[in-house]
A and B are shown apart, each in its own frame.
Chain A
Amino acid sequence: AQSVTQLGSHVSVSEGALVLLRCNYSSSVPPYLFWYVQYPNQGLQLLLKYTTGATLVKGINGFEAEFKKSETSFHLTKPSAHMSDAAEYFCAVSSYSDRGSTLGRLYFGRGTQLTVWP
């Protein structure tokens, strides 16, 4: 079974400050990990993903995340927040398995609403 926990449903930062959105996962198999961003009334846009290889993953808009297996974490960071970063962020876990219909299924966290103050 796989699941995701996002600590903090709301995070507020000042423009220019560090952004840290927390994500912990549970997975019985090697995970694929994703961060998505959602703007109001829109679908999800992939920020970055970890599959295999380098544990520090860089994504779009200056975001990055580090896969820490020992901590089962995949926290999202950005050194300097911008007003345009205000949105809902979802962490998700999946697995690549050639067994049955669960192939590629994503399990989402509850989301974290990021507010950026001027």
Chain B
Amino acid sequence: GAVVSQHPSRVICKSGTSVKIECRSLDFQATTMFWYRQFPKQSLMLMATSNEGSKATYEQGVEKDKFLINHASLTLSTLTVTSAHPEDSSFYICSARSLTSGRGSEQFFGPGTRLTVL
């Protein structure tokens, strides 16, 4: 149980285009989803926290108009990188958390999406 998927796993796009990344909890309801960004050989940087049905909370320094997050249902959150530029190239990882079944604060991570902007 507790499987999180991400789609696509890898995407290459041209500079100036927008890219949408989906994060789905497959077998549980995710009241909260987190979006992370990871640069090569570095740790995960939390970008934003999204709660189902409400606006995402962005970390300091993360442009909310650049990285649009929607958490429309208890099993799906999307991250849209708008007008992507080469510096947006990175590994994006989502995680999902459920308060059911005594899971406490454990987060379940997706496999990540590798974004390359040409």
- Interface positions of A (Cβ within 8 A of B): 32, 34, 36, 41-46, 49, 51, 90, 94-96, 101, 103-106, 108-111, 113
Task: Give the number of chain B interface residues (Cβ < 8 Å).
Answer: 26
Select one of B6, B49, B108 contacting A105, CB under 8 A: B49
Q: Which of B49, B105, B109, B112 has the most CB of A within 10 A?
A: B105
Select one of B43, B44, B49, B106 contacting A101, CB under 8 A: B49
* Residues of A close to B32: CB separation below 8 A: 103-104
Inter-chain pairs besides A36-B109, A44-B93, A96-B104, 7 sampled, C-beta below 8 Å: A41-B91, A41-B114, A43-B110, A43-B112, A105-B46, A106-B95, A113-B41
Interface of B, helix, strand, loop or mixed by DSSP: strand
- A111:B43 contact, CB within 8 angstroms: yes
Nearest A-chain residue to B49, judged by Cβ: A101
With A103-B32, A105-B49 known as contacts, the answer to whether A94 contacts B105 (CB < 8 A) is: yes
* Residues of A close to B51: CB separation below 8 A: 101
Select one of B4, B41, B43, B97 contacting A90, CB under 8 A: B43
